[in-house]
Amino acid sequence: MKTPQGNAIAEKTICFKVGTDLLYGVMCLPANSSKRGVLFIVGGPQYRAGSHRQFTLLSRDLALNGFSTMRFDYRGMGDSEGDAYDFLNIHDDIQSAINSFLLNNPYLSEIVLWGLCDGASAAMLYASGDLRVKGLILINPWIRTEAGSAKAHLKHYYKDRLTDPLLWKKILHGQFSYRATAKSLLSQISQILKTDKASGETAQQAHLPDQILTAMQQFTGKTLIILSENDLTAREFADVLHGSKQWKNLSISPQFRVHELKNANHTFSQRVWRDQVASWTDEWLKSW
């Protein structure tokens, strides 16, 4: 196929197995491929095109810059067979996708995992166990616990609301619901005060930040993190990143790079935001 710029790239549909289930993906191949390929780990429930076709567009952009890419559907999603699994249980899907990616592209010798939301979390949990993975690109990683989410709401949402002109306009015109706001605020505080057991979280969910930290401490490759400013998932991850000595030690290492995209929302719904993510991704892939 040819892009609007006239450059030729090839797209190839591939099929591979996880157990007895057939999974489907699309590779995007440049004329001259780098040894470094990018595998997209989508956030669920989602399929391989991504919100606003971001994964499709970014795959083609990276191919134009010499990087082979692959995007695929997990079991139970999109065109793939089988039962759907959450991000904590797609290790086999990622491993089989990497196997297929390398098998179908002999130029590749190392893999970078690009993940959004809980796809980024799945990538972090997977990477240290596969020596073929040399890099991680993590977009608004999901590291949520009920208490952590409540803290993020208190710290970011309510603070931003106090500086919102529309809020004060509602107050001045008697259109502001004090009762509803107080109820919401008390609910958030209640979630913080509850224990993990009382809040109904599973042990796996409650200890997700610790699991991911341990996995990242074991990962020896390079990491790029991109966080949207206007996204509570990203804010919660940023609070963990800057609030823990262990995470701080990771983030200041030469292996780490962190960008924050001002005003952007969780799925980068505006083209200017998607273009910036593409630019940072391409620049970082070429930097090492």
Q: How confident is the model at residue 4 (pLDDT cuts 50, 70, 90)?
A: very low
pLDDT digits 0-9 by tens, 113-133: 999 999 999 999 999 999 999
Answer for the pair 95, 23: CB distance below 8 angstroms, yes or no: no
pLDDT digits 0-9 by tens, 142-169: 997 655 454 544 554 555 555 556 644 6
Rounded Cα distance, 133 and 37, in Å: 10
Higher pLDDT, residue 137 or 172:
137
- Average pLDDT of the residues in 45-59: 91
Sign of CA dihedral 56, 126, 118, 254: negative
What pLDDT, on the 0 to 100 scale, is given for residue 213? Answer: 95
The first and second tokens of residue 273, run together, are 């935001």
Beta strands across the sheet bearing 133-139: 10-18, 21-29, 69-72, 36-41, 110-116, 133-139, 222-228, 256-261
Would you list the domain boundaries of the chain? Answer: 10-145+207-285, 148-193
Does pLDDT of 195 surpass 50? Answer: no
Q: How confident is the model at residue 62 (pLDDT cuts 50, 70, 90)?
A: very high
pTM of the model: 0.81
Least confident residue range of 83-92, 152-161, 221-230, 258-267: 152-161
Least confident residue range of 122-126, 161-165, 198-202, 211-215: 198-202
Answer for the pair 111, 37: CB distance below 8 angstroms, yes or no: yes
What pLDDT, on the 0 to 100 scale, is given for residue 198? Answer: 43
What pLDDT, on the 0 to 100 scale, is given for residue 144? Answer: 78
Percent of the chain with pLDDT over 70: 76
Higher pLDDT, residue 147 or 30:
30
CATH 3.40.50.1000 fits 10-145+207-285, yes or no: no
Does pLDDT of 267 surpass 70? Answer: yes
